[in-house]
């Protein structure tokens, strides 16, 4: 699911949030388990389902509309095609409740993504991946902000665990970082509006659809990693499977009247993960007044399909059954 849909809509209203997007794959590299993050996409490919991811926030008013309560309900299905190549399909249903005005709701554009892990090092708990996402124009409702044109976004991702740090700083070993960087490229350069003024003259207005850099990262502290690989501090269940984290989800236009003006959110929260699913919740805090002034909330239920039924969900056309992500 892409929190990115919620972010893009906030951006259109002059306040922007992030997303990612909504987050995608969980994964293992070396001893490090990376969960699926909520606001930005992460670097792994996996067989999994995010359903639902719910975002709720109050948008401030802008030239394009009054203040409104926005609720996004998103879902995303991801499937590995090989051990390092995966595809995903996501969608978002949005409800806008303006004040004043009538509520409007509908689906945002469908999003299709492809991702490939091209480098990884288990001893250093590090990997890099590249991908591309396609926001399919015209598949969503215009009244909730869905564009009629496509947007293609080439992306780079990384993940780094710090389990290779020296023993003198052992308390930092459970720390991990992930990051995502992409460039939104609209397939239509301008939106054109034709109108007739009071004198009967035809007026043509052209509005630029700018390229936008989508960027963000997460900082995570895995308490299970602390217990299992650093020092057993006696944390009870379910706390021993908590991952406190903070995500930074930003976007910066590179052209047009808002070029160089970054908007986005900081999302502190926590993820609990089990063998077959994870639960996550984060606050959604605007980074500046251009983004907004109201704090929202995002929550997610995420299912590890590759661990729930590996013989079914991990089948691939060229590599057979890949098996579960987590060890049985």
Question: Is residue 16 predicted with pLDDT exceeding 90?
Answer: no
pLDDT at 327: 58
The mean per-residue pLDDT over the stretch 75-86 comes to: 95
Share of the chain above pLDDT 70, in %: 91
Determine which of 57-61, 64-68, 121-125, 261-265 has the lowest per-residue pLDDT on average.
64-68
The mean per-residue pLDDT over the stretch 155-162 comes to: 98
Helix, strand, coil shares, percent, the chain, to 5: 10, 50, 40
The mean per-residue pLDDT over the stretch 13-19 comes to: 34
pLDDT band with cut points at 50, 70 and 90 for residue 282: very high
The mean per-residue pLDDT over the stretch 125-129 comes to: 97
- Name which CATH class applies to 3-321: mainly beta
pLDDT band with cut points at 50, 70 and 90 for residue 6: very low
Q: Assess whether the previous peptide bond of 238 is cis (omega < 30° from 0).
A: yes
Distance of CA 193 to the CA centre of its chain: 32
pLDDT band with cut points at 50, 70 and 90 for residue 63: low
Q: Parse the chain into domains and list their residue ranges.
A: 3-321
Residue 253: phi and psi, rounded to 5, are -60, 145
Distance CA 191, CA 12 (A): 14
The pTM assigned to this predicted structure is 0.88
**Local structure of 262: helix, strand or coil:** coil
pLDDT at 322: 85
pLDDT at 22: 39
Residue 70: phi and psi, rounded to 5, are -115, 130
161, 271, 170, 122 alpha-carbon torsion, rounded to 10°: -30
Mean of per-residue pLDDT scores for the chain: 89
Assigned token pair, 238: 């379910």
The mean per-residue pLDDT over the stretch 112-131 comes to: 97
The mean per-residue pLDDT over the stretch 175-203 comes to: 87
288, 292, 298, 304 alpha-carbon torsion, rounded to 10°: -60
**Cβ burial, residue 317 (10 Å; 0-12/13-18/19+):** exposed
Question: Is residue 9 predicted with pLDDT exceeding 80?
Answer: no
Span 190-225, pLDDT tens digits = 887 777 777 777 777 888 999 999 999 999 999 999
pLDDT at 326: 65
pLDDT at 318: 82
Q: Is pLDDT larger for residue 229 or for residue 62?
A: 229
Question: Is residue 1 predicted with pLDDT exceeding 50?
Answer: no
**What kind and span of H or E run contains 295?**
none
The mean per-residue pLDDT over the stretch 110-137 comes to: 97
Share of the chain above pLDDT 90, in %: 75
Residue 294: phi and psi, rounded to 5, are -105, 140
Question: Is residue 18 predicted with pLDDT exceeding 70?
Answer: no
**Local structure of 73: helix, strand or coil:** strand
The mean per-residue pLDDT over the stretch 7-34 comes to: 54
Determine which of 19-23, 105-109, 306-310 has the lowest per-residue pLDDT on average.
19-23
């Amino acid at each position: 699911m892409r929190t990115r849909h919620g972010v893009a809509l906030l951006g259109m209203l002059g306040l922007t949030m992030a997303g990612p997007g909504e987050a995608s794959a969980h994964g293992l590299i070396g001893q490090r388990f990376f969960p699926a993050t909520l606001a930005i996409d992460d670097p792994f490919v996996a067989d999994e389902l995010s359903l639902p991811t719910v975002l709720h926030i109050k948008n401030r008013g802008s030239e394009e509309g009054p203040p409104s309560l926005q609720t996004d309900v998103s879902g995303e299905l991801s499937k590995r095609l090989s051990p390092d190549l995966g595809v995903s399909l996501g969608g978002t249903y949005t409800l806008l409740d303006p004040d004043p005005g009538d509520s409007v709701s509908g689906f945002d554009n469908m999003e299709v993504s492809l991702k490939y892990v091209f480098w990884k090092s288990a001893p250093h708990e590090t990997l890099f991946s590249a991908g591309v996402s396609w926001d399919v124009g015209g598949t969503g409702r215009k009244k909730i902000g869905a564009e009629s044109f496509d947007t293609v976004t080439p992306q780079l991702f990384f993940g780094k665990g710090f389990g290779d740090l020296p023993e003198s700083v052992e308390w930092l070993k459970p720390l991990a970082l992930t990051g995502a960087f992409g460039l939104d490229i609209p397939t239509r350069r301008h939106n054109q509006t034709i109108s007739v003024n009071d004198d009967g003259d035809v007026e043509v207005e052209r509005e630029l659809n700018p390229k936008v850099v989508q960027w963000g990262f997460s900082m995570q502290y895995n308490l299970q990693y602390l217990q299992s690989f650093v020092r057993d501090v006696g944390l009870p269940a379910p706390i021993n499977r908590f991952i406190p984290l903070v995500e930074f989800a930003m976007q910066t236009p590179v052209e047009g009247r808002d070029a160089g003006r970054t908007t986005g959110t900081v999302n502190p929260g926590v993820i609990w993960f089990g063998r077959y699913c994870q639960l996550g919740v984060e606050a959604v805090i605007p980074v500046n007044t251009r983004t907004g002034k109201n704090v929202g909330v995002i929550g997610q239920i995420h299912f590890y399909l590759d661990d729930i039924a590996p013989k079914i969900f991990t089948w691939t056309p060229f590599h057979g059954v890949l098996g579960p992500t987590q060890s049985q």
